[in-house]
């Protein structure tokens, strides 16, 4: 049976009984994006805000609450649900009983747990972590037995000292040693299992949070992202990664050993009576010291962060204004400012680290003092024949099981504060508005060329007093070729980005086919049009993926497009043809902007290969051969698509049906090119 992902996903939404808006939006999404594999289904479910989990096929899934499910194997995909003793498939608008499918290794089930969300939970991080709560009893059970085996080992040691050595029972030593070795191996095995489970859980939590944070950064406002330094975007991901350190490693083990400290306290009380007061006092001291340390550490952390940020700002200033600092003879003054900031940052960092080192030493000393106190008081109990020497040795071993987790947690108290702050930051980030967030409104986009209307558009970039565009009103008729020109920084690129839905104006309305641009889904809208950036960036893609623009296109057409733009000789040098990775064949550094010959070949091939109802082209011509090719392409597409391009070239401007002249973000002229005015407009464009 052939898989039909599109129809089955539609059936899934019908089985879930989603509202009309979600259903209509899903059809538009599927028509625009296609569903060719399971990952495409996951992308749609995440866009709709539908909670799902993926499982291997099993009848035991009936015990997991779900609205519906997708059963997928190598041959078919079907909408279904798992009941206690029944498998039901969704057919003709209702669930009907069927025989259980055969269990194949490749079979998987996608369980749908709830309707599309209307907003993120206030504690989004907590909601994500709570999904792993079913594993908590298992982890506690493993920790219980690991600590139980650890509890028995000191008693075995006591029996060796008191019974074997004291009673001259050498013949029993081998059996006791074998039993102790088995207990130790079991304890070690359980701790390894627990460590692997905690590492798996922490890595999965960190991965899910970081992926979601990155996805929201990807969909957040372009203006907001541009105003943030790259370090701010990186800090969001590192903040998400900080959750990993909470559960894995020694700290994770200490967290799950802490509840069972009570077992060791009871054992100490059983062996030494009132001697149990020593570890109890130690625990109280650890808590008090950690609380006191955390108060001081919070103040020093704030000072360290402020001074470090100041130093980083100066380095960023140097990177962006080095030429001015040198030419204006400002080096001496800038260096003085940096030295002052650097010394302050170093001092704050020193005091912060010294404080941590001091309390680490105190915690270590407290652990030693607890052991010494047990030894001193235990000797007195031995002299009074209340405790045996073996009991004292066992008590010393037991007290380390009490002070060990307490010392680790006290030493890591700052990390809990960091995790709390990270959780707050991520929750705030998740509740910020991004593109298409819980919005399923989308008008159908026509296949023919559109009309575009702008009414009193004003766009202001962050941290800039003067608007990039101010009071802009114009109309572009269907099928028109429109040239945007004007001096440098006059707002040409800003206008094209507005029309592409990459930016949103602070005032005014943009209409495409008489509908407000905000009524289209941004991602579907941008897939409907063709946008050419003046400085396209290189991504980690193959040549085929870059040129095909996420569409199924025959390889022959891609190669012909590359040949058409003069890239045949370059294409022959590629080691793997269309499968060549761009980062291997074009540049070394993935952050390098695509430029020069490769940029012209790949970007123009993409432009001329695809047909869109609307083209938005930012300075598409780089040289004279490109100009001739662009003229030829323009004559072919004229009347079949609405084409808006920016240029300073008078030869291209005169080919337009309408010319838009901008100056300082203000509309100077919009209309057909008057006779004998090409030279005048070209002069304005170059000012």
- pLDDT recorded at residue 589: 40
Confirm if 252 and 139 have CB atoms less than 8 A apart. Answer: no
- pLDDT recorded at residue 338: 85
Q: Please, what CATH class does the domain formed by 5-118 belong to?
A: alpha beta
Query: How far is the CA of 33 from the CAs of 26, 50, 117, 603, in angstroms?
Result: 10, 18, 22, 21
The crossing angle, in degrees rounded to 10, of helices 331-383 and 389-411 is: 160
Q: What are phi and psi of 93, to 5 degrees?
A: 85, 5
Q: Please, what CATH class does the domain formed by 452-686 belong to?
A: alpha beta
Tokens 């309408």 appear where?
Answer: 658
The pLDDT averaged over each successive group of 10 residues in the chain (687 residues) is 77 91 88 84 89 89 91 90 91 90 86 87 83 87 92 88 76 81 91 90 85 80 69 69 78 90 91 90 92 81 76 76 76 84 85 86 92 89 86 90 91 84 83 78 84 92 84 92 91 92 90 90 88 74 82 86 83 83 52 56 84 91 79 88 91 91 91 65 48
| Both tokens assigned to 184 | 């130790």
* Cβ-Cβ contacts under 8 Å for 530 (sequence gap 6 or more): 607, 610, 612, 614, 615, 616
Provide the residue count of the chain: 687
| Both tokens assigned to 586 | 């074009």
Confirm if 609 and 558 have CB atoms less than 8 A apart. Answer: yes
Tokens 């001096």 appear where?
Answer: 487
Tokens 């400002």 appear where?
Answer: 330
**Rounded Cα distance, 558 and 609, in Å:** 7
| Both tokens assigned to 83 | 């009941």
How is 256-286 classified by DSSP, letter by letter? HHGGGHHHHHHHHHHHHGGGGHHHHHHHHHH
- pLDDT recorded at residue 590: 38
Give the domain ranges of the chain. Answer: 5-118, 127-430, 452-686
| Both tokens assigned to 49 | 């805000």
- Residues paired with residue 267 on neighbouring β-strands, in sequence order: none
Model confidence pLDDT, tens digit, residues 17-30? 988 888 888 888 88
Confirm if 259 and 402 have CB atoms less than 8 A apart. Answer: no
- pLDDT recorded at residue 67: 92
Query: How far is the CA of 161 from the CAs of 24, 166, 391, 616, in angstroms?
Result: 78, 6, 9, 86
Confirm if 123 and 428 have CB atoms less than 8 A apart. Answer: no
- pLDDT recorded at residue 207: 84
- pLDDT recorded at residue 190: 93
Which CATH number, 3.90.800.10, 1.20.1560.10, 3.40.50.300, 3.40.50.970, labels domain 127-430? Answer: 1.20.1560.10
Tokens 């894995």 appear where?
Answer: 248
- pLDDT recorded at residue 616: 94
Query: How far is the CA of 358 from the CAs of 226, 278, 465, in angstroms?
Result: 42, 23, 50
């Amino acid at each position: 049976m052939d898989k039909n992902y599109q129809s089955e996903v539609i059936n899934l939404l019908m089985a879930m009984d989603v509202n009309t808006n979600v259903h209509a939006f899903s059809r538009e999404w599927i028509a625009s994006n296609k569903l060719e594999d399971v990952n495409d289904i996951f992308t749609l479910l995440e866009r709709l805000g539908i909670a799902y989990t993926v499982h291997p096929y099993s009848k035991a899934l009936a015990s997991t609450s779900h609205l519906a499910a997708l059963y997928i194997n190598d041959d078919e995909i079907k909408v279904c649900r798992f009941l206690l003793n029944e498998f039901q498939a969704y057919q003709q608008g209702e669930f009907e009983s069927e025989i259980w499918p055969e269990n194949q290794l490749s079979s998987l089930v996608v369980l749908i747990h709830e309707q599309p969300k209307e907003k993120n939970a206030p504690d989004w991080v907590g909601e994500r972590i709570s999904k792993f709560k079913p594993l908590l009893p298992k982890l506690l059970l493993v920790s219980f037995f690991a600590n139980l085996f650890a509890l028995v080992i000191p008693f075995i040691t006591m029996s060796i000292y008191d019974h074997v050595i004291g009673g001259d029972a050498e013949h029993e030593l081998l059996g006791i040693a074998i039993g102790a070795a088995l207990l130790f191996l079991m304890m070690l095995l359980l701790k390894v299992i627990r460590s692997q489970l905690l590492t798996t859980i922490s890595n999965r939590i960190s991965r899910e949070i970081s992926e979601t944070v990155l996805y929201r950064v990807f969909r957040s406002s372009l203006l907001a992202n541009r105003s943030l330094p790259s370090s701010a975007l990186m800090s969001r991901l590192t903040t998400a990664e900080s959750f990993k350190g909470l559960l894995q490693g020694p700290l994770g083990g200490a967290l799950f050993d802490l509840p069972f400290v009570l077992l060791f306290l009871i054992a100490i009380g059983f062996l030494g009576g009132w001697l149990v007061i020593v570890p109890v006092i130690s625990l109280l001291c650890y808590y008090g010291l950690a609380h006191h340390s955390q108060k001081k550490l919070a103040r020093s952390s704030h000072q360290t962060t402020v001074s470090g940020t100041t130093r980083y700002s100066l380095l960023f200033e140097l990177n962006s204004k080095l030429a001015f600092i040198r030419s204006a003879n400002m080096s001496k003054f800038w260096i003085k400012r940096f030295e002052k900031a650097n010394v302050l940052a170093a001092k704050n960092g020193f005091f912060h680290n010294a404080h941590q080192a001091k309390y680490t030493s105190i915690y270590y000393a407290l652990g030693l003092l607890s052991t010494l106190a047990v030894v001193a008081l235990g000797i007195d109990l031995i002299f009074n024949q209340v405790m045996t020497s073996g009991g004292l040795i066992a008590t010393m071993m037991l007290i380390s099981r009490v002070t060990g987790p307490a010392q680790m947690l006290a030493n890591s108290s700052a990390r809990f504060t960091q995790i709390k702050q990270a959780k707050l930051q991520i929750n705030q980030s998740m509740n910020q508005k991004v593109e298409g967030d819980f919005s399923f409104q989308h008008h159908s986009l026509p296949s023919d060329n559109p009309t575009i209307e702008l009414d009193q558009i004003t766009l202001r970039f962050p941290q800039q007093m003067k608007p990039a565009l101010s009071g802009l009103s114009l109309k572009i008729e269907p099928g028109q070729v429109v040239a945007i020109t004007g001096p440098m920084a006059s707002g040409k690129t800003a206008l094209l980005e507005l029309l592409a839905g990459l930016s949103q104006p602070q005032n005014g309305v943009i209409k495409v086919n008489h509908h407000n641009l905000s009524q289209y889904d941004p991602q579907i809208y941008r897939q409907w049009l063709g946008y050419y950036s003046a400085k396209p960036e290189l991504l980690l893609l193959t040549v085929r993926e870059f040129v095909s623009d996420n569409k199924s296109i025959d390889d022959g057409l891609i190669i012909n497009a590359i040949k058409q733009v003069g890239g045949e000789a370059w294409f022959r040098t590629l080691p793997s043809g269309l499968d060549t990775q761009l980062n291997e064949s074009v540049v070394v550094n993935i952050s390098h902007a695509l430029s020069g010959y490769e940029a012209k070949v790949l970007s123009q091939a993409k432009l001329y290969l695809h047909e869109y109802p609307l083209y938005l082209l930012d300075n598409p011509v780089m040289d004279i051969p490109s100009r001739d090719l662009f003229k030829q392409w323009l004559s072919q597409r004229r009347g079949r698509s609405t084409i808006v391009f920016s240029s300073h070239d008078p030869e291209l401007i005169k080919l337009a049906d309408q010319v838009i002249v901008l100056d300082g973000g203000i509309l100077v002229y919009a209309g057909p090119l008057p006779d004998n005015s090409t030279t005048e407009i070209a002069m304005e464009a170059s000012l």
